Amino acid sequence: MKSSRFRVAALAAALLAVTQVHPALAAPGDPGEPRYSAGASSLDDPYFPDQGNGGYDVQDYDVTFAYDPATKIMNATTVITALATQDMDQFNLDFQGPEITSLKVGKHPADFTRSGQELVVTPRPKVKSGQTFTVTVSYEGTPPVITDPDGSIEGWVPTDDGVFVPGEPQGAPSWMPVNDSPADKATFTFRATVPEGITVVGNGRLLSQTTEDAKTTFVWRSAEPMATYLATVTLGNFVVTESTTPSGIPVYTAVDPRLVTQSATAVARIPDILEYFSTIFGPYPFNQAGAIIDRAPNVGYALESQTKPIFSSAPSVSTMAHELAHQWYGDSVTLSKWSDIWLNEGFATYATWLWTEHSGGATAQATFNSSSNYGRAATSSFWQILLADPGPEDMFSNIPYNRGAMTLHALRGKIGDTAFFKLIKDWAADHQYGNATTADFIKAAEKISGQNLTSFFDVWLFQKGKPTTW
Ligand SMILES: [Zn+2]
């Protein structure tokens, strides 16, 4: 769900007005007649050029599937509800999943072709701008594991007792057809049926859990808009614990039985971490919190899946804090293009520095100064990648994380605590459930501080080399 639906409507009205005043601009045909064309097959993000599609704005995904870890076969139907933003005789979805057995637009079977992750759909009847339409895709088989430019794996990753499902940055199309752009947020429902004894953990709230004929169906609903890369339906053997934070946010944690002891400290701190972050970032943005701690040794990382961060091994308290901080910065406020990854990772890393100081560890200033951060020699390769555009191979290296956090700490020193903490709180409020860019952040920082920060951001974000003055 894009935040600017009304702006789209206003733009459409403005374009219509232009067309009426200047008929010469109109293509041949009667005024007011739909002019059908194909929705764009890409949103041209240079890091992942196949990602995302144009011509429509997804409102909701409803994903129903049965899966058996023994056979690794998924039998699924995904219903996408979208709003057309142009007259379309063709549109694309992103899908890398198994064989499609049926595809309909509305009630009508539609022709489709597949090439790489592009699923090209030809709807009949055609779709008019402003129309809300559904796409129903049924498919059956084994979803693939996706490998990223940095070599890490994601998507549908089988474990010894189920499946680990991380989606950043391009894993979601492994198991469901999507508009795989971080800028097209939508609500989601997951209805998953698995052999009795297996637990499925999705984003949002558990609406129901029912067992019949030795199969259990879990229905999860993410009522707040979510980017596709933050979706998960991780499944396996889990010990589930439910509690509530002091502010009343329900917490659902699912832990692999083999990791309960090792995870206990990090799990126990979830309410404290959320309460602390709420005081400095503003209210927790979602109606559900929690964590999924699984054993997926071939994955080897954690991810901030919305409302249910997922961990491929027992997390430390600081890793837990990092993924919980992302619920504000990354999940609720999401980047629009992947080169802005520091807006996700720098914020979550800096939040962890603040948590460490708050809980009696090193001060944020000491962490800034340390040999992992500003203490690195000017000759280190650490300084030789552009923070504002690290590239797809380094987007999850320590550069966006550590240099991003340093940028925020240096900014705090530059504009003072009052302006800085107002800035990051307003950032979470002003862009809640939406998308934002580095340019938006610079503008907000200058407005709140009343300072011209061009040279500050220049040395921290837009130049290579270790900053010396700012
Ligand atoms: Zn992170």
CA of 221 to the centre of ligand 1 (A): 23
Question: What's at 400, amino acid-wise?
Answer: P
Cis ω for the linkage preceding 69 (within 30 of 0) = no
Question: What's at 149, amino acid-wise?
Answer: P
Task: Say if residues 407 and 458 touch (Cβ distance below 8 Å).
Answer: no
Report CA dihedral (399, 400, 402, 408) to the nearest 10 degrees.
140
Separation between Cα atoms, residue 349 and residue 384, nearest integer Å:
20
CA of 429 to the centre of ligand 1 (A): 20
Contacts of 332 (CB under 8 A, 6+ apart): 224, 285, 286, 428, 431, 432, 433
E strand spans, 322-408: 333-335
CA of 261 to the centre of ligand 1 (A): 24
Mean pLDDT by 10 residues, the chain (470 residues): 39 42 46 89 96 98 98 98 98 98 98 97 97 98 96 97 98 98 98 98 98 98 98 98 95 98 98 98 98 98 98 98 98 98 98 98 98 97 97 95 98 98 98 98 98 98 97
CA of 188 to the centre of ligand 1 (A): 22
Domains of the chain, residue spans: 5-33, 34-235, 238-327, 338-462
Separation between Cα atoms, residue 275 and residue 408, nearest integer Å:
21
DSSP H or E stretch at residue 219: strand 215-226
CA of 108 to the centre of ligand 1 (A): 42
Can you give the pLDDT at residue 30? Answer: 64
Q: Three-state DSSP class for 268?
A: helix
Task: Say if residues 105 and 123 touch (Cβ distance below 8 Å).
Answer: yes
* Same fold for the pair 238-327 and 338-462: yes
CA of 87 to the centre of ligand 1 (A): 38
Query: What are the φ and ψ backbone dihedral angles of 159, each rounded to 5 degrees?
Result: -115, -175
CA of 304 to the centre of ligand 1 (A): 7
CA of 310 to the centre of ligand 1 (A): 11
Q: Report the predicted TM-score, pTM, of the whole model to 2 decimal places.
A: 0.93
- Name the one residue in this structure whose structure tokens are 């992103």: 94
Separation between Cα atoms, residue 9 and residue 5, nearest integer Å:
6
Report every protein residue that has its C-beta within 5 angstroms of ion ligand 1: 345, 348
Among 1.10.390.10, 1.20.1370.20, 3.40.50.720, 3.40.50.1580, what is the CATH number of 338-462?
A: 1.10.390.10
- Give the chain's radius of gyration (CA, Å): 23
| Domain boundaries 238-327, corresponding CATH code | 1.10.390.10
| 3-state SS track over 167-212 | CCCCCHHHCCCECCCCCCCEEEEEEEEEECCCEEEECCEEEEEEEE
CA of 447 to the centre of ligand 1 (A): 27
Question: Please, which residues bridge with residue 91 across strands?
Answer: 121
Task: Say if residues 366 and 311 touch (Cβ distance below 8 Å).
Answer: no
CA of 322 to the centre of ligand 1 (A): 6
Question: How many Cα atoms occupy the beta-carbon half-sphere of 225 within 13 Å?
Answer: 21
Query: What are the φ and ψ backbone dihedral angles of 120, each rounded to 5 degrees?
Result: -100, 120
Can you give the pLDDT at residue 16? Answer: 42
| Domain boundaries 34-235, corresponding CATH code | 2.60.40.1730
Question: Please, which residues bridge with residue 310 across strands?
Answer: 292, 303
Task: Say if residues 114 and 95 touch (Cβ distance below 8 Å).
Answer: yes
CA of 299 to the centre of ligand 1 (A): 15
CA of 349 to the centre of ligand 1 (A): 7
Separation between Cα atoms, residue 90 and residue 113, nearest integer Å:
11
Can you give the pLDDT at residue 34? Answer: 86
CA of 91 to the centre of ligand 1 (A): 32
Separation between Cα atoms, residue 126 and residue 34, nearest integer Å:
10
| Cα torsion angle, 409, 410, 413, 414, sign | negative
Can you give the pLDDT at residue 1? Answer: 44
Separation between Cα atoms, residue 110 and residue 100, nearest integer Å:
12
Can you give the pLDDT at residue 75? Answer: 98
CA of 89 to the centre of ligand 1 (A): 39
| Cα torsion angle, 281, 285, 289, 294, sign | negative
Can you give the pLDDT at residue 31? Answer: 67
Can you give the pLDDT at residue 33? Answer: 84
